[in-house]
Structure 1
Amino acid sequence: MSTPLRAGLIGAGFIGGVHAHAIRSAGARLTRISDSTPQRADEAARRLGAEAASESAEALIAADDVDVVHICTPNATHAALADQAIAAGKAVVCEKPLATSWEDADRLVAAAERAGVVTAVPFVYRYYPTVRETRSLIADGQAGRLWLLHGSYLQDWLAGSSQTNWRVDPSQGGVSRAFGDIGVHWCDLMEFTTGHRITRLHARMSNAYSQRATADGMQAVGTEDGATVIFETDQGATGSLVASQVSLGRKNKLWFSFDGTDASYVFDQEQPDSLWIGGVVENRVVPRGPGTLSTAQGRGYSYLPAGHPQGYQDCFNAFVADVYGAVAGESPDGLPTFTDGRRSAMITEAVLVSAKNESWVEVPA
């Protein structure tokens, strides 16, 4: 692009900082930032290198010097802010969940399509080179028939009844926490990588802690600490997922094994610079690198030689670069859009219904 895109960032917490780094990496200007108060916005502008602070999210969205709006606020605010950004004709990057209900997510997809604006949801685990390598190998038929798709997403940052966060409050984070926050990442990654779509599932939700600390003292927990899901796909595979935010020692372990009749592929987000490929005669561990991965997709997202680690921020940088490429008229392969956010909302709703009714629930593919 002849002139840099101008980005506005709403929300300056941990993930807002990740967005800010990615905005600059993509060659855009971080022209404005807003936070929960004008004072916090001023501090965040200094800390994250924004050109100016906006007094409110609404003022940022309306600003003439913002082309792309990044929404990094508590979940319950996403839909309203995305609505405003779409109405203003701005491209929108909205943190997941896109909305806390499928109906709101569906409405946002329709609104964005009518407005003709670029949208994106940061399902950034798609951007690990070893994931792209796995996707390409599966598409090429090297796995044979995929029949078992299983894995987990485990964290421990909410372990202990004294640990709390706005996500614990259903009015801010939504009715589902562990699945709605991290389980959807795994499901998106599975469907993206394998090409399979979940059509039927059975879920259970549970809590390690019956109460958590709040500003008003210890309160009953309103969202789940963990969820287990078994599912079937449109191509005849079965699978399972365990998601937990209280598994001690697991900082951010997104793990999958996609098992086929000819090969199995294992990815571990805590060790993302290698891909495990299983076979009957031998197993292989392939290091991530432009000279070691075999597919164009895998090599294309490998920015550093093997042995020089690439991680989460690198994935986020690649994701935002693809978003801005789409704004410029390109068609990046695998860019997660509001349509993918709606898909995650649909699966989350099915998980909630299944857990409540203790039954299998159909999920449109």
Structure 2
Amino acid sequence: MENDRTLKAPSRLRAGFVGGGFMAEVHSRAARAAGAYIAGISSSSPASAARAKDRLGVEQAYASVQDMLDDDTIDVVHVCTPNATHVAVAEAALKAGKHVVCEKPLATNVQDASRLVELAAQAGTVATVPFVYRFHPMVREARERIARGQTGRISSIQGSYLQDWLLSRDDDNWRVDAGIGGPSRAFADIGSHLCDLLEFVSGERITRVGALSRTLFSGRANHKDVQTEDLVAAVFATENGTVGNLLVSQVAPGRKNRLMIEISGSESTVQFDQEAPETLWLGKRSGSQLLVRDPDALSPEAARFSVLPAGHPQGYQDAFNAFVADTYSAIAGRTPAGLPTFRDGLRAAVLTEGILDSSASGQWIEVPSVHQLEGVQQ
């Protein structure tokens, strides 16, 4: 089957990057794959920007973020800095008239996330957040099957996102610092991805949450007073009465990046596991099936993201490439389905706040409706 996926915008965008760490590397590979020119980079210092320029193969290092934003030749800005800096950088980029791709969390509180949504609307530019797991072909296949009613009436939703990179007391990172990473760590960092995927695939919104969180180590190698959580467990309900549960942990031995969702209905169950992204498990009372990615056998939307033939595995970077390509396509005036915008970043901030409030109070928390959260729906 010929793949008609458009990976490049009609004109070559000039992309600027703020931050030069791991995520900037991922973003830059995706930008190149989408046909952009990696024009500039700024970082925490001129020296850091110069090092990142050489490592990432960027045309120019700027002495400051503002210097880069003042460059009228930069079309789109990728914000790849620590969490607490996202709001200021994204706000400045929007006010400079740039399109913006901002790493999650969009903001560390709901008020700031709401302001960025309003600024993006006022600017009239494209503003997206990389909830990239939406861009696995088999995720789109699961979403399409549920939307067509093949699972029947949804009764339960469960999911988990498990990692082990902060397993021991000696493991440390800037993200554990609430002043830099925000008041939530495990949930804001990876639970936001999980909830985005659960809602995106099921088509349902979480309306109530009851959560427990735990911090295993009050002190780590470089942080002596850790206030952010290592793991979160929660039960929830959706507006349709569906019940669900989720577990998020960065201290689960052996789990490197295991994002799993399972949605059950009256007719069948659908399960996706990000560590095995080429397959979709379909369960029925009469038996189960492991559906393997094959563009010829998938729905059109899933096939659009199948950029390699069946049997040639796709993974995380492919999903990230697809997200950036669709962002650039939106900049070119198209309207790609399922593109996560700043509104989705706001949704994640509201869910994070609900989880934190529930864990602190020991009570169920009502999550605001879509209309209350996001104003006019997209």
TM-score (norm. length: structure 1): 0.97
Q: Return the match for 1:106 from 110, 114, 118.
A: 114
Q: Shift of residue 246 of structure 1?
A: 0.9
Equivalent residues of 1:286, 1:292 under 8 A apart: no
Instruction: Report which stretch shifted further, 46-55 or 123-132.
Output: 46-55
Aligned residues: 361
Equivalent residues of 1:289, 1:304 under 8 A apart: no
Distance in 2 of aligned mates of 1:120 and 1:283: 37
Aligned to 1:335: 339
Aligned to 1:307: 311
Mapping of 1:317-332 within 5 angstroms? 317-332=321-336
Distance in 2 of aligned mates of 1:129 and 1:65: 34
For residues 298-337 of structure 1, what are the alpha-carbon distances to aligned partners after superposition, in whole Å with 9 as ceiling and x for unaligned? 1111111222110000001000000001011000100000
Q: Return the match for 2:357 from 353, 359, 362.
A: 353
Equivalent residues of 2:10, 2:332 under 8 A apart: no
Equivalent residues of 1:228, 1:243 under 8 A apart: yes
The structure-2 alpha-carbon separation of the partners of 1:221 and 1:2, relative to structure 1 and needing over 3 Å to count, comes to closer
Q: Shift of residue 289 of structure 1?
A: 2.3
**Do residues 220 (structure 1) and 225 (structure 2) align?**
yes
User: Identity over aligned residues, as a percent?
Assistant: 52
Mapping of 1:135-214 within 5 angstroms? 135-214=143-222
**Do residues 131 (structure 1) and 135 (structure 2) align?**
no
| Alignment root-mean-square deviation, CA | 0.9
Equivalent residues of 2:159, 2:198 under 8 A apart: no
**Do residues 5 (structure 1) and 10 (structure 2) align?**
no
Distance in 1 of aligned mates of 2:96 and 2:266: 50
Mapping of 1:257-276 within 5 angstroms? 257-276=262-281
1:204 aligned counterpart, secondary structure = strand
Q: Return the match for 2:75 from 54, 67, 70.
A: 67
Distance in 1 of aligned mates of 2:65 and 2:151: 47
Equivalent residues of 2:84, 2:107 under 8 A apart: yes
Q: Which runs of 5+ in 2 are unaligned?
A: 1-8, 370-378
Q: Return the match for 2:290 from 285, 288, 295.
A: 285
Q: Return the match for 1:88 from 85, 92, 96.
A: 96
2:89 aligned counterpart, secondary structure = helix
1:211 aligned counterpart, secondary structure = coil
The structure-2 alpha-carbon separation of the partners of 1:354 and 1:2, relative to structure 1 and needing over 3 Å to count, comes to closer
AA aligned to 2:362 is E
1:77 aligned counterpart, secondary structure = helix
Q: Shift of residue 60 of structure 1?
A: 1.5
For residues 178-207 of structure 1, what are the alpha-carbon distances to aligned partners after superposition, in whole Å with 9 as ceiling and x for unaligned? 001000100000111111000000011102
AA aligned to 2:75 is D
AA aligned to 1:346 is V
TM-score (norm. length: structure 2): 0.94
1:283 aligned counterpart, secondary structure = strand
Aligned to 1:55: 63
Q: Shift of residue 209 of structure 1?
A: 2.0
Distance in 2 of aligned mates of 1:263 and 1:305: 27
Distance in 2 of aligned mates of 1:206 and 1:236: 28
Distance in 1 of aligned mates of 2:297 and 2:45: 48
For residues 119-170 of structure 1, what are the alpha-carbon distances to aligned partners after superposition, in whole Å with 9 as ceiling and x for unaligned? 0000000000000000000000000011100010000111111111110000
For residues 247-298 of structure 1, what are the alpha-carbon distances to aligned partners after superposition, in whole Å with 9 as ceiling and x for unaligned? 11000000011011101001100110101000111201011121232x1111
2:220 aligned counterpart, secondary structure = strand
